[in-house]
Structure 1
Amino acid sequence: MPREATPELTFDELVQAVLDSPPPAPKISEVGRVAEVGDGIAIVTGLVRALSDEVLEFASGGRGIVFDLEPGRLGVVLLGPSEQISMGEDVRRTGRVVGVPVGTALLGRIVDALGRPRDDKPPVDTVNLHPIEVEAPDILHRSAVTRPLATGLKAVDAAVPVGLGQRELIIGDRQTGKTSIAVDTILNQKDTGVICLYCSIGQRGDAVAKVIGAIQDGAMMDRTVIIVAGDEDAPGLAYVAPYAAMTMAENFAANGQDVLVVMDDLTHHAHAYRELSLLLRRPPGREAFPGDIFYVHARLLERAGQFSPSVGGGSITVLPVVQTQAENLSAFIPTNLISITDGQIYLSPRLVRKNQFPAVDLGVSVSRVGGKAQARAFRDVSGNLRVTLSQFEELEEFARFGTRLDDATRARLTRGEAVRAALRQPERDPMTAAEQLTVLLAAMEGLMDGMDETRATAAMAAIRAAVRADDAGLAVRIADNERLTDADRTRIVATARGAIAAQVGLDGTDP
């Protein structure tokens, strides 16, 4: 049957229908005023019902976070330039906290601390916004850290192992290679399925561009999210950046995925928080930092871990970076972070001056997870490695005085120099576990004794090529967490001996 046509209303009937309809519900909007504006902060009055950490919107289009709640006034941290905010302009409540986009749409993107694009691409295609501040998972939702996170660096994987779900601090003076270790770790996840997030806090634009270029050249951009809060951005963005990165990581971990988060670096984060606190006239404490600076970093890093299947079964591994001055590990922020994290990788400027890269000082570096997250094959080697190096460094200091040395002491010095040379590794050149193990065993068995730097480098390249050609099932046994038998050691040493003999000769001369 044909549908009956709806009779059209006359103008008078339409007006009457509007008048008879129920009125819209009243909408309450609280409006305040900007009383003061500073570098990165604003003082707002008139919003007596505003909540802590609530987002406020300014009439000029800017946004800010309620930081201080005081009678008759609010201390607000701006999430953008303060130049666009003027005194007396209107400020409105939003009723929500700061949120960032999450999900797979972020992979391959470069965003700021609020998830806005910084790569000249369209906005992130997701409607999922999660708050940046959440409680850390309780202990019943956590599992032990038992799976290794391979960094591809001999000095780390053998002596300072990192596990999935661990918080391992990277600490050292400026220009010692802290960022390089973090980037190499990201590049080594190419075949592991680990999702990576690199959070840049207060870094120069050219330094961030180099990191982005290295990740793109290493074909890891498709599984990496880069969050940038540069030194030219507002300090409020630097403050929220690591929390935003952790929120993005938590979404991946909730779906059962392993995530690596690099925070480069928390020294700038602490300085941004100190700047905001001093501008808002919070009482300063040690080194002018506010009294809650420990809690600021503790509540951030406690959100990492290996989670139980009831909450997704994923993991968040964090590599926070912190900078020291003149090797002062007892400074305020470094000691705070050392006490929060599960160990530290210390990069020594003394080793940098000796051209030892990566400049990992194994005497100060430690992993509190220890061998629980390390393959048994590496565990069998790492103990002798630390002992050999510690004895060598002690004898090296003693030998500086020109004392006459006996043959046994001279042999220990030669072996120590060879082992330290074996730990050298160029940037952007991660090594497989089998290659690392073979090189280290070759050095500790004396196959590289007496070689200069050029010949040692050639010998390590020959060993790696031989392992790539045929590792005799070593990689599989390492992956299966099997111990090395005496026959395995003999076969590994024989492989290394043959590679070195073919390349540089066992006596250090060309074959």
Structure 2
Amino acid sequence: MGLKRDKDFIERTFDQLVKGREKHHFSLSPREVGIVSSVSSGVVKVSGLPSAGFEELLKFPGDLYGIAFNIDEHEIGAVLLGEDSLINAGDEVERTGRVMDIPVGNALIGRVINPLGEPMDGKKAIATDQRLPIERSATAIMDRSAVTVPLQTGLKVVDALIPIGRGQRELILGDRQTGKTAIAVDTIINQKDKNVLCIYCAIGQRASSVAKVIANLKEKGAMEYTTVMVTEGNNSPGLQYIAPYAATSIAEYFMHQGRDVLIVYDDLTNHARAYRELSLLLRRPPGREAFPGDIFYIHSRLLERSTHLNDALGGGSLTALPIVETEAQNISAYIPTNLISITDGQIYLSPKLFELGILPAVDVGKSVSRVGGKAQLPAYHSITGNLKLAYSQFEELETFARFGSHLDENTRKIIEHGKRIRACLKQKELQPMSAPEQIIVLLALMDGLFDGVPLEKIQIAETELRKIIGELPADMVKRLNSATALETSDRESIFSRAKNIMISFEAKSEPIPDKN
């Protein structure tokens, strides 16, 4: 009788559970829970979770998440995406069954966010309909197109001598405080009204530096088409590590919609250091300079996602400007050489030029674009063809002339012309120039119109010269911005106007006083 009563009770209980499930629509599902065994700086060791996968997102108490990095036989090494002070040994850890992802969509344009997609600008929460994993495979080779459309930076020295194309990866490197971020910010500002979306990813930067960048972008109206992703120096190394991948997924969303996107990683030196810190804490074997052996791989799989899609996939592009910091001008160090070999060229900033006030401090001899003239506006070709050679000759002769040797007339002319090239390539920060303005200045420079102007008047003469743009016919200005070569009639028209302006700036020889 007792067994029968127990059986009846179990059946009634089961029927009630089924009816309750139908009424309240709840479901019973198994949870796989592990236990925190130890906590260190940004890294947690977890026991249990035998079914967890590599890079799976794990949930910790207090809505804190981490990524499973080391999958060992008896424990998991997880990277925390937040403050480790909130985690204690013995806390429960739960699997989520998914990888780290980030919200994507138009709602992110004009916002300042962290790598988790949370707002940092004090505005309302970001609502999007779609999320993308931060780690995604790079576009297949057959789905890519050649880089042919220029991405104008607004900087004469870059657009004329080291041109960048949409879909290219151009490294910006140099010692600290030489103007690397300034070049990237000027490039973002110059994309206004050019239908290019921009993403600025700050990795482990000082809060004051990031605030200055955001203030400059707002002042110039660039935040209307820019998303800023921020991790500060005091953030966990896990957040700094995922930041560039999360920013790239946001950029890829727009690229696959057929948009042109520019992304700036500022900087990958901090990213490499954050990954080194995580790897050493997880007891991964160190290699050269204590960096883990796969440091090249984590950067190559990041930068390979930048490309120009073919027309079948919408024709969108993702242009990358990674920044890396050198120490004592050593561009052959481990991280710089890794990134030089991954990217399609580099812009090297010299501290010596910076100290001399030659800004932007681009060392033309050590800078190169492997795409080059293929992505340059045709109007530049006929003007800047000999510019780099003339500038290089000047630098060699200038060094020779310092010994005080007697110079022949031809050598003296080359040096004087080179000084004016260097003066014309100077440009103030946050003042990018349009392509027609650059072409007018460079045309006057290469045709020798600046050679008679004293060096102290070069900047004033250039400002007056740029005003010619308002006198040119609209169809000529359109041709200067288009993919058509500079016509002879256009060149002659610009030259004649420029010559009339430059005459007023030429040095006048003083009359010899009459001794009588």
Pair in the same fold by TM > 0.5: yes
Counterpart secondary structure, 2:118: coil
Counterpart secondary structure, 2:202: strand
Instruction: Determine if the alignment matches structure 1 residue 506 to structure 2 residue 506.
Output: yes
Partner residue of 1:137? 139
Whether the 8 Å contact between 1:265 and 1:320 is mirrored in structure 2 is: yes
1:463 to 462, 465, 477: 465
Partner residue of 1:353? 355
How far apart are residue 377 of structure 1 and its match? 1.4
Runs of 5+ unmatched residues, structure 1: 1-13
* Residue identity in the other structure for 2:500: G
Whether the 8 Å contact between 2:42 and 2:238 is mirrored in structure 1 is: yes
Partner residue of 2:53? 51
How far apart are residue 381 of structure 1 and its match? 2.1
Change (3 A) 1:17 1:203: same
1:237 and 1:168 mapped to 2: Cα distance? 25
How far apart are residue 127 of structure 1 and its match? 2.9
Partner residue of 2:19? 21
1:337 to 336, 339, 342: 339
Scaled by the length of structure 1, what TM-score is found? Answer: 0.94
Partner residue of 2:377? 375
RMSD: 1.9
* Residue identity in the other structure for 2:239: L
After TM superposition, the structure 1 = structure 2 runs for residues 29-68 of structure 1, keeping only pairs within 5 Å, are 29-68=31-70
After TM superposition, the structure 1 = structure 2 runs for residues 215-230 of structure 1, keeping only pairs within 5 Å, are 215-230=217-232
2:490 to 465, 488, 491: 488
1:313 and 1:181 mapped to 2: Cα distance? 26
Whether the 8 Å contact between 2:202 and 2:231 is mirrored in structure 1 is: yes
* Residue identity in the other structure for 2:393: Q
2:299 and 2:397 mapped to 1: Cα distance? 40
Partner residue of 2:210? 208
1:20 and 1:241 mapped to 2: Cα distance? 46
Counterpart secondary structure, 1:134: coil
Whether the 8 Å contact between 1:414 and 1:449 is mirrored in structure 2 is: yes
1:346 and 1:474 mapped to 2: Cα distance? 34
Deviations 1:188-236 (A, max 9, x none): 0101010000000011001001100111011111111000011011110
* Residue identity in the other structure for 2:270: H
How far apart are residue 442 of structure 1 and its match? 1.4
* Residue identity in the other structure for 1:507: A
Whether the 8 Å contact between 2:111 and 2:121 is mirrored in structure 1 is: yes
* Residue identity in the other structure for 2:439: L
1:437 to 436, 439, 449: 439
Partner residue of 1:251? 253
How far apart are residue 472 of structure 1 and its match? 6.6
* Residue identity in the other structure for 1:66: A
Whether the 8 Å contact between 1:434 and 1:467 is mirrored in structure 2 is: yes
Scaled by the length of structure 2, what TM-score is found? Answer: 0.93
Deviations 1:271-298 (A, max 9, x none): 0000100111100001110000000000
Runs of 5+ unmatched residues, structure 2: 1-11, 511-516
After TM superposition, the structure 1 = structure 2 runs for residues 51-200 of structure 1, keeping only pairs within 5 Å, are 51-200=53-202
Whether the 8 Å contact between 2:453 and 2:505 is mirrored in structure 1 is: no
Partner residue of 1:3? none
Counterpart secondary structure, 1:65: strand
Whether the 8 Å contact between 1:434 and 1:471 is mirrored in structure 2 is: no
2:74 and 2:176 mapped to 1: Cα distance? 44
Q: Which runs of 4+ in 1 moved over 6 A?
A: 14-17
Counterpart secondary structure, 1:306: coil
